[in-house]
Amino acid sequence: MSLLKPSVQTPFHIDFEWWEQNDRDWRVYLRSLLCADHQQSLADVQEGALIDWIDPDTAEVKPVDGIQHALMSHCALLPDFVNEHTAVVEAVFRIFLVNGNQPMNAASLSKQLHRPAETILRTLAGPRVYRGLRPYQTSKPQDETEETEAAAV
């Protein structure tokens, strides 16, 4: 299996499967990103309870975790969620939370973060996976187009 070397045009996203396989405490981490109000109000919320979230760009309805929903719709939008002191990995992770995990490349991330695209790429494309940030692969096995093809055969 050969992977293309990622470039500043390679889209990245948060791979939640990676989290499930490598760090079962990812919900604890998500919780830690909540604002003070939501830390309190969601203290008793069941882990993994799903809420419908409507993608503001595509109007597509996606089921998301209740904690994730609060982060995306409120906490991540607070002015200090990402500032110039936030580490690159953290800042990138938070951007994906806010945008509903829409894949973005280092060039676009660079514009949002006001940091060099090369720095972002080097961090994301290194040998270690941080926070589940990985290249976005469009050809997943459960892809609809593949199902259609299989049906045609």
| Amino acid (1-letter code) at residue 18 | W
Beta strands of 1-128 (E only): which ranges? 11-14, 50-54, 61-65, 104-105
Choose which of 31, 38, 69, 94 interacts with Zn ion (CB under 5 A): 38
Task: Tell me if 51 contacts Zn ion by CB under 5 A.
Answer: no
- Residues of this chain, 85-124, that bind Zn ion according to CB under 5 A: none
Q: Indicate the DSSP class of residue 76.
A: G
Angle, CA of 68, 130 and 21, to the nearest 5°: 70
Q: How far is the CB of 78 from Zn ion (least distance, A)?
A: 7
Q: How far is the CB of 77 from Zn ion (least distance, A)?
A: 8
Query: How many Cβ atoms are within 10 Å of 95's Cβ, its own excluded?
Result: 20
Choose which of 62, 74, 115, 134 interacts with Zn ion (CB under 5 A): 74
Residues found in the chain: 153
Q: How far is the CB of 91 from Zn ion (least distance, A)?
A: 18
Choose one: 34-42, 52-60, 126-134, 142-150; the region binding Zn ion (CB under 5 A). 34-42
Task: Tell me if 75 contacts Zn ion by CB under 5 A.
Answer: yes
Place of tokens 């990676």: 18
For Zn ion, the closer of residues 42 and 104 by Cβ is 42
Cβ-contact 113, 98 below 8 angstroms: no
Q: Which residues bind Zn ion (CB under 5 A)?
A: 35, 38, 74-75
